[in-house]
Amino acid sequence: MIASRQRAAIFALLCAFALSASGPYRTQLSAQDLRHIRTVAVISAVGSSFAFEHVRNRELEWLGPPDSHFLEISDWELDPLITNEVTAALKPRFAIKPVAFESADFSSWNIWLLKRAALGLNGDPDIDAYVFILRDRQSDAIGFSIHALDGLGLYRNDSAAGVTVYACYRLVVVNAYTGETIASRRGLLSNGAAPTISAKPDLWPHTQNDLTEAQRRTILADEKNLIEATLLRTLKEMNLSRASLGQLTDLDRARSNRDR
């Protein structure tokens, strides 16, 4: 366990260096930022694929990539759900305008690729900023392996019982005129932990293409609960929303909703 935690710490440090090299940004909008942002467009590109991450319990497994498989889940309609929730939270403060985009343009990104894609959007010239909800690559805070978690997925580690549903995403506010990132923040629980929900081992399918309808319903409900437990809170912490913290859901409510 100590070695695993050390590997995870090394990986997190490397991620931090990579992120810091991608350019400066803040984790929340300043008063000056807000004076210049009146109209925004909301772009959610986090819910098009779902990962099945299997970390096997074998010697030197951590040196290579985990056993990863992916399922296309645009029919789960998580991006429309996220867009609607963010739009509703921002409406009291900003004017919201639609913008046409391709989710694939934002499925794999860094600050520089995001700038190029944002400037390539055929948006309304009155739009001051884009509010992106994007997949985020994070170190493994579940099994403390050297592997990374990215976007939405189901995690299995042979050295531990059970599986875990996770949601790794980031909100990014981009200047629509320059493409520069103004503010960026991970979606986290109120205690600063990554959004995860533990589940029973039988939630893991034989293959990603053998997901049963019952497994799909459970995973979808868990992902919706994780989003509800973190999305509005993150908007509040970024100064994008004026919602009071008493109105925001958290993981306990997410779990109780899942268990009903």
pLDDT in tens, 92-106: 999 999 999 999 899
Check whether 198 has a pLDDT greater than 50. yes
Alpha-carbon dihedral angle through residues 14, 111, 134, 42, given to the nearest 10 degrees: 160
At residue 158, the pLDDT reads 81
Q: Which residue has the tokens 């299995």?
A: 156
For helices 213-237 and 78-90, the axis angle rounded to 10 degrees is 20
Longest Cα–Cα distance of the chain, Å, equals 56
Q: Is the pLDDT of residue 140 over 50?
A: yes
Residue 78, amino acid? L
Q: Which pLDDT does position 175 carry in this prediction? A: 96
Residue 250 CB contacts under 8 Å (≥ 6 apart), including other chains: 189, 190, 229, 233
Say which residues have a Cβ less than 8 Å from residue 169's Cβ, sequence separation at least 6.
Answer: 46, 133, 134, 135, 136, 151, 152, 186, 187
pLDDT digits (tens, 9 = 90+) for 94-137: 999 999 999 989 988 999 999 999 999 977 889 999 999 999 98
- pLDDT over 90 (residue 4): no
Q: Is 111 helix (H, G, I), strand (E, B) or coil?
A: helix
Task: Centre a 10 Å sphere on the Cβ of residue 225 and count the other Cβ atoms it contains.
Answer: 22
What band does 169 get if pLDDT is binned at 50, 70 and 90?
A: very high
Instruction: Name the 3-class secondary structure at 255.
Output: helix
Residues 141, 55 contacting (CB under 8 angstroms): no
At residue 59, the pLDDT reads 64
Using N-to-C axis directions, what is the helix angle for 251-259 and 213-237, rounded to 10°? 160
Confidence of residue 61 (pLDDT cuts 50, 70, 90): low
As given in the structure block, the two tokens for residue 146 are: 């050297």
Name the pairing type of β-strands 181-186 and 148-157.
unpaired
**Whole-number Å distance between alpha carbons of 113 and 213:** 36
